[in-house]
Structure 1
Amino acid sequence: MKQNNQHIDEQLLKAILEETSSDQDKQEFQKWIQADSANKDTFLKMQKIWKSSKGIEVFQKIDEAADWKIIKAKSGKTVQLKKVNLFMQYAATVLVLLSLSLVYLYQTTPGFGKYAEYKSLQTKNQIVLADGTEVFLNKESKIVYPKYFNSKVRNVEMEGEAYFQVKPDPTKPFIIKSGNAIIEVLGTSFNVKNEMDGTTIVSVNSGKVSLKNQKTQEIVYLTKGEKGIIQKRKVSESKNEELNFNSWKTNVLTFKDTPIAKVFSDLENYYGVKITNRSAKLDTLTYTNSFSNAPINKVIDELELVLKVHITKKGNHLSITDDKN
């Protein structure tokens, strides 16, 4: 590529900045630098902007927007400097837009800056937030939270199921957005569960919780031993009679005169199995027992002994029939 000492090809400059230039390019570049001290100053400014906006195709965008063609000698040094200044203006604009984009990503994008995102896949996990709040995530659940709680409220979002032990702070309410629910507390422990149909269930273990439907703004207040349910546009509260609402966290299953159908439902939820009951005699029975960190085979043995039935396990399916003995 040929040029005089007052002009330089844009592609050559691009190659120099990207460190992909050939030996011939480098020689031509050195001639241009040595021809005028202003050329060196101009290049150093270009280099600073280039490094700041590294990773963005600045030159190609400027070609398309400004039609910056190869600077030719016919217009002399004045035109050449005008073109370079034009480049500087566009490059500075790109840098400003990049900075704004980075600020936006930092403020809004989980995992990028201000917010973090944690997903549990096939395992249960525990995380501790910046304020000391402990969050226990059930399988296939997600939470989005600030890396630091600098505002007047502590906002998080979650999907799936999680148990919260919120660090008390009367000056900063802890607010959870989950499905159609907005849950607000100061310091307490409770379980939040999203059902497949969009229902959100909040079960309080200690303290006081407010549960609000985002769509209707209807709100209920829950205390220890109570649960609130948001189902479509309706919000309800009641005594929590679900003994195993947080068994996924405690690894303890408790049954007290529990109808067999409910026993099987809780076992299905906890162990991830499907139970088919072919024993009619069980329909009217209740069951009392407790299991702590028990493998499924131990539970099967206990049920067969107490209920006088036979249980066949194939993969994740349990089939229950009357004991032939």
Structure 2
Amino acid sequence: MKEQKHNNHTQGQEGSRALDHLLDACRFQPVDNTRIKSLVHEKIRKEKLARKRRLRNICVASLSAAACIALVWFAGAGGFTAPSPDLSEASVSELAHAGYNEVIVPTGQRREITLPDGSHLIANAHSRVLYPEQFKGDERHIFVFGEVFLEVAKDRRHPFVVESKGFDVRVLGTTFNIRNSSDSTASVVLVEGSVEIDTENDRSVRLRPNDMAELLNGDVTSLTRIDPDDYTSWTKGLLHLTGMPLSELTRNLGDYYGIEIRCHSSLADTRVYGKLDLHKDIDTVIESIREIVPMKITRSGNIITLKP
């Protein structure tokens, strides 16, 4: 009987110690806010990386193994680049076999495209657009380089993603203008709706209507309020000028008409105001500028020179 009491007492002590240990574990512990923030940021970073890995793992199943593509990026006006091989290397027949359409807009022209989801796209001269015959998967992806104006059909279950050099633009349904150039500069102008710009360095910037984000080498350098009409008038064959430096204007016109326009350094910072009709030939357009900015115009073959 004494031995049984001793065992019961020992078991009671062990049970008491176990209960105390459990209560200690349940007692309130100080919250480590720094650690929580670190864990949250790490989770967000991993989610972004996972999303980018999913994009990079998109492979066109219809292409042969040698033409399978993990990701498509633009590398300047030279075209698409990606892990070998890339879409710029794929032949027209391979692209067609893979279910992709490619549009390259010639000098001095614009091209209107209706995408498979009903979205409307206008591509400016010297622009390149690649899009599938049918959108598949959770997101709608297109690839562009140059300048395009987009009216995206709303579909909240399938976000629309425009991939370009060094950054992506993600939308659900909106109207915006995107422009990028071979000098690694780019801009996104939001007309209505909402878009988010994701850069290669994992920075995200959300735009509101009448916002313009400017980028350099894939990084957002400025965010300003503007009048979208000044940046989308090209879709109607017009160019609004509200103080654009002559050097920038001549560069844009050179890109559009496929001609080299050299602007003398003393004229480079001259601000130009007014409207230009892009339906007219380049010589007529340059003459229109001379009515605003006194200058001498010379032309030799495919080179136009502007001097004081």
TM-score band (shorter)? Answer: 0.5 to 0.7
User: Where in structure 2 are the equivalents of 1:61-80 lying within 5 Å?
Assistant: none
What is the correspondence of 1:142-153 to structure 2 with a 5 Å cutoff?
Answer: 142-153=128-139
For 1:217, the equivalent position in structure 2 comes to 202
> Percent identity at matched positions?
23
1:205 aligns with 2:163: no
Paired residue for 1:317? 303
Q: Which residue of 2 aligns with 1:250?
A: 236
Whole-angstrom CA distance in 2 between matches of 1:265 and 1:275:
7
Aligned residue identity for 2:203: E
CA distance in 2, matches of 1:220, 1:155: 19
Task: Give the counterpart of 2:180 among 165, 182, 194.
Answer: 194
Amino acid at match of 1:137: A
In the TM superposition, what is the alpha-carbon distance from 1:172 to its structure 2 partner? 2.0
Aligned position for 1:239: 224
Within-5 A mapping of 1:153-168: 153-168=139-154
In structure 1, what is the equivalent of residue 213 of structure 2?
228
Q: What secondary structure is seen at the aligned counterpart in 2 of 1:105?
A: coil
One-letter amino acid matched to 2:276? F
* Alpha-carbon contact 2:143-2:164 (below 8 Å) kept: yes
- The alignment status of 1:287 with 2:272, answered yes or no, reads yes
After the TM superposition, which residues 10-21 of structure 1 pair with which residues of structure 2 at under 5 Å, given as runs?
A: none
Secondary structure of the residue aligned to 1:151 is: coil
Unmatched runs of 5 consecutive residues or more in structure 1: 1-101
Distance 1:163 1:136 in 2: 5
The 8 Å contact of residues 131 and 167 in structure 1, kept in 2 or not, is answered as yes
2:118 matched to 1:119?
no
Moved more, 284-293 or 128-137: 284-293
CA–CA distance in 1 between the matches of 2:176 and 2:225?
12
Larger Rg: 1
User: Aligned pair in 2 of structure 1 residues 303, 167: CA closer, same or farther (>3 Å)?
Assistant: same
Q: Is the contact made by 1:303 and 1:309 (CA closer than 8 Å) also made in structure 2? A: no
Q: Give the Cα–Cα distance (whole angstroms) in 2 for the partners of residues 307 and 200 of structure 1.
A: 27
Query: How far off its partner does 1:220 sit?
Result: 0.5
- Residue 263 of structure 1 deviates from its aligned partner by 3.8
* Distance in 2 separating the partners of 1:278 and 1:143: 34
Aligned to 2:122, what secondary structure does the other structure show?
strand
Provide the secondary structure at the position in 1 that maps to 2:141.
strand
Q: Is the 8 A contact 1:155 1:175 kept in 2?
A: yes
Larger helix percent: 1
Structure 1 length as normaliser, TM-score?
0.56
- How much does 1:191 deviate? 2.1
Match of 2:127 in 1: 141
TM-score relative to the length of structure 2: 0.59
Structure 1 residues 217-246: Cα deviation after superposition (integer angstroms, max 9, x where no partner): 211001222223443463344116597544
CA separation of 1:259 and 1:133: change in aligned 2, threshold 3 A: same
Kindly state the Cα deviation for residue 131 of structure 1 after the two structures are TM-superposed: 1.0
- Name which structure has the greater RCO, CA cutoff 8 Å, separation 6+: 2
Aligned-residue RMSD, C-alpha:
3.3
- Does residue 264 in structure 1 map to residue 256 in structure 2? no
